[in-house]
Structure 1
């Protein structure tokens, strides 16, 4: 029997399925948060449960009101009654004595445009591990938050309301008084010191607020909202921009999610350093800690909404400068604005400059501008040629080895977003032939209805011609000759039940010439294979030459390919 249980108090609940938000006891447990259905506006919020469903209840940093302790397991009996250790309780008695407390967790993985940031989780150290609400990429040396990642759930209309705002937490990530640095008095002093002008900061909306990356209103529960109040999740943002256009954009994103009723992954980040004119009308960079040139207000805020189910996304940019002039707008329009988007309908007069110029563009367009500036510099440095990297599809993306779309659950998809699982891959190759190959592999597995083991790897180092028409090796960190874009991507599908396999090779070079094709055909291409049927015109070179061969043939060329023994050819 199915029951609907009113929800009106603080509690963390973990379930097996983020889609169903309930735990049939015979399912594997993946410890996702249960979120309420219904709506806050009409006071009708509930969670859905069936007799026998098992829930993990947790009050990290507090205790369960009727049970004591931080954690318990409850079994749905009937109606609103749950059994805990053989004793029956009404669900209303299973709240926390006080609001659960979040913490931070260092992942030890690099992130950011040049790998100079570190990934930090904000969440709850319980439920069999660390339950993340937000993941932040943070540069300690510069006190700069590059970006945060979180999810806006389709249940956002059922969020708590009326929460008191807690104080911001510095944790252990700042070696100075960051709260003091954000104070208006300090901003007046340092900006006048840097520019010679005292009028930039006033007593109204012209000051730097603590601009959330993952905003508190994007979360359902009070305690999730509280987890946004960490200084690693904010950056200095003009309050007039924060309170008007950016706030409207955030609300419109929530409305959009509520409308389409799908959970979206949200990336919110910063780029560049704010510049203001000094008394000589020359632009100077602004820092709230100018002596050390740290805690810089960003030049731009950006946000990406990503739908993993539809493999679709959209990006938004806001200019963090209410003093922008009309004749500067083109210089600050860093990607081609979309003519329209439903989210932008919620931003009133987005071209009004004192509220922060705001516009939408494609994710690819945005990615070509912000994180890849380093590529233009180093490739020109190595080759003497500036045209290899452009503002379109000719740049190095973070090419997944194990792609997120190969996984079933959101949290499994999230696990693919580690830099150890990517390599520099030309976006035009990544987005066409390689993406088609990955999708065709998924379709093939769905067709044969057997689980396949997938090995995806790289080999060699990309070489490009310099001004003397001589090939030189490319590194994104050329000083140390590290982070090399590979020459080839390869993939092996292995069927352990049938002891069969097949291999695929893609050339990571859209500048390959016709007279070089034989040199880059490293194994004997198969005449046909069902997976290759999903790759359109695989010999088109600017999309990345792609072909299939036997696993044995590939292993004879690439030492990185695992030894799988004598395999038959996997075709069905």
Structure 2
């Protein structure tokens, strides 16, 4: 018993000393150590990656561990280091406290003065390799340049897209067990990126007034439209994130989700209903079980509504008298997979809140939802998906 007490005391002293010798950084956006806009906070072993906080807003950079601060993008640079407006990335080595080594020299870094000139720029790039059914593979992320002018891409999301249909079959990203430490209150982009991936004015198509006009054309009736889309309500098609903003820890990662290719037309009552509950529950599941997950999200089928004569009408986000484009999917699906155990679960949500009753064709795979006890949703509510 005495030996056990000695062991515990020694362990505590070693841990305390280890923490005191580390470089501690508060990453809170509004009240943390960095200025705004915050740079990317990275580390590098064989390749660069995000360095995540161990607990809440607290990031401990271990003694002699590398940390990279980066501000990617044209005319972007690190402020608060010196007056060099060409410096958009720097590699530091932690000594202790707020002391770091830079270019083999020790110096004290006041992080309050450190920021980017503008928000770090994220990009979407088409890859030479193909994905499902010979379609286009796209990666979203950040190009960073090191002090030797070498360029590296840090991916946040990859996806598979049909460029002809403007249809993203699926997205993929890694959900980390530290997702509970995500930054809150980080500014969203003023507008979504990637409109040039589309042949139509995608920004305009998501306006409720445009949706009303489109449905009038599709249905051939103004009378029926108010059943589906109305102003100042949840009856409209939203930009449904496939990879959610809150699925990433850092605000700069969160901003990289605002690409149109990472979205599909999703009814708002579903978006803010069971789909939102599913996303939140998966994050809590990863935190509680301390596991990292590979997450795939996709869409399937096309929503059908009936006109005044009860004829089936496929729903599109764009429609005029001669042309239709951008199908509204009937289903959104999500797969979570743990590589270590090779176990996974698939979830399917109905993107059609106007169905009067549950029917067999709404189930595209065997329903095992009763076995999933960690999701508190109302799966029988058609309006919530």
TM-score class normalised by the smaller sequence: 0.7 to 0.9
Unpaired runs of at least 5, structure 2: 1-17, 28-33, 146-150
Match of 2:356 in 1: 325
* TM superposition shift of 1:87: 4.8
What SS does structure 1 have at the residue aligned with 2:46?
Answer: coil
Superposed CA offset, 1:190-238 (max 9, x none): 1122123222211211110000000101111111111011111110000
Match of 2:93 in 1: 75
User: Greater strand percent: which structure?
Assistant: 2
* TM superposition shift of 1:38: 0.8
Unpaired runs of at least 5, structure 1: 17-27, 40-44, 357-572
Which one of 302, 307, 311 corresponds to residue 273 of structure 1?
A: 302
Match of 2:344 in 1: 313
Separation of aligned partners in 2, 1:168 and 1:202: 23
Match of 1:334 in 2: 364
* TM superposition shift of 1:163: 2.1
The aligned runs of 1:361-400 (5 Å cut-off) are none
Q: Does 1:294 align with 2:331?
A: no
Separation of aligned partners in 1, 2:290 and 2:198: 39
Match of 2:80 in 1: 66
The aligned runs of 1:485-564 (5 Å cut-off) are none
Structure of greater Rg:
1
What SS does structure 2 have at the residue aligned with 1:214?
Answer: coil
Separation of aligned partners in 2, 1:31 and 1:201: 46
Q: Does 1:189 align with 2:207?
A: no
The answer to whether the Cα contact below 8 Å between 1:238 and 1:321 also exists between their aligned partners in 2 is: yes
Q: Name which structure has the greater RCO, CA cutoff 8 Å, separation 6+.
A: 2
The answer to whether the Cα contact below 8 Å between 1:144 and 1:294 also exists between their aligned partners in 2 is: no
Match of 2:175 in 1: 152
Separation of aligned partners in 2, 1:122 and 1:241: 26
Superposed CA offset, 1:435-458 (max 9, x none): xxxxxxxxxxxxxxxxxxxxxxxx
RMSD: 1.8
The answer to whether the Cα contact below 8 Å between 2:22 and 2:95 also exists between their aligned partners in 1 is: no
Structure 1 runs (4+) greater than 4 angstroms displaced: none
Match of 1:89 in 2: 108
How many positions carry a matched residue from both structures? 335
Which one of 31, 54, 60 corresponds to residue 48 of structure 2?
A: 31
The answer to whether the Cα contact below 8 Å between 1:59 and 1:100 also exists between their aligned partners in 2 is: yes
Match of 2:6 in 1: none
* TM superposition shift of 1:257: 0.9
The aligned runs of 1:118-267 (5 Å cut-off) are 118-126=136-144, 128-166=151-189, 167-195=191-219, 196=221, 197-199=224-226, 200-203=228-231, 204-267=233-296
Separation of aligned partners in 2, 1:161 and 1:335: 36
* TM superposition shift of 1:292: 3.5
Separation of aligned partners in 1, 2:373 and 2:59: 30
Superposed CA offset, 1:147-205 (max 9, x none): 11111111111111112322111253112211111111111111122123222211211
